[in-house]
Structure 1
């Protein structure tokens, strides 16, 4: 599985391509297959995301799991304090999609 990630231009938040837009939750990420590099170029040219790139991930029952530790950390949020991590059940975080 290959997924597309990047950062929001305004906030710097980590974003994941859902197949039709961007989400802050890796669980929403869609498999981009061989189209990932093309999508990354298109999204960056349209100025919807900063420095998008394709990563390898494993499909799990809970959604994609990035293969590399760097991207797993990006998916989960800050590692300093557990209360700062992004929680999918948080009603204030779930609806933010561009």
Structure 2
């Protein structure tokens, strides 16, 4: 599975491609497949996102989870305090199962 991520241009927030727009929540991300670079280029050119790039991920019962720890931190927030994640009420937010 491949996901497209980047940063929202006005806010700097980490965002994930949903197939038609960007979301702050990795659970909304869709498999971009082989079209990642094409979509990334178009979205960056339209100035909707900064620095988009394609990453590897796997599907879990909670939704897509980035394969690399760097992108998991980008997706879920700080690793030191689960209450600071994007979804603090999510009981799996602090779970870093590889």
TM-score between both structures, scaled by the size of structure 2: 0.85
RMSD: 1.6
Mapped to 2, the partners of 1:24 and 1:44 lie a distance apart of: 17
* Structure 1, gaps ≥5 residues long: 91-98
The worse-fitting range, judged by mean Cα deviation, of 53-62 and 73-82 is 73-82
Q: Note if contact 2:82-2:88 (Cα within 8 Å) is conserved in structure 1.
A: no
Tell me the equivalent position of 2:24: 24
Question: Where has structure 1 moved over 6 Å in runs of 4 or more?
Answer: none
* Structure 2, gaps ≥5 residues long: 91-98
1:29 Cα offset (Å): 0.3
Tell me the equivalent position of 2:50: 50
Q: Note if contact 1:25-1:88 (Cα within 8 Å) is conserved in structure 2.
A: no
1:79 Cα offset (Å): 3.0
How many residue pairs match? The answer is 90
Tell me the equivalent position of 1:9: 9
Bigger relative contact order, structure 1 or 2, given CA contacts below 8 A and separation 6+? 1
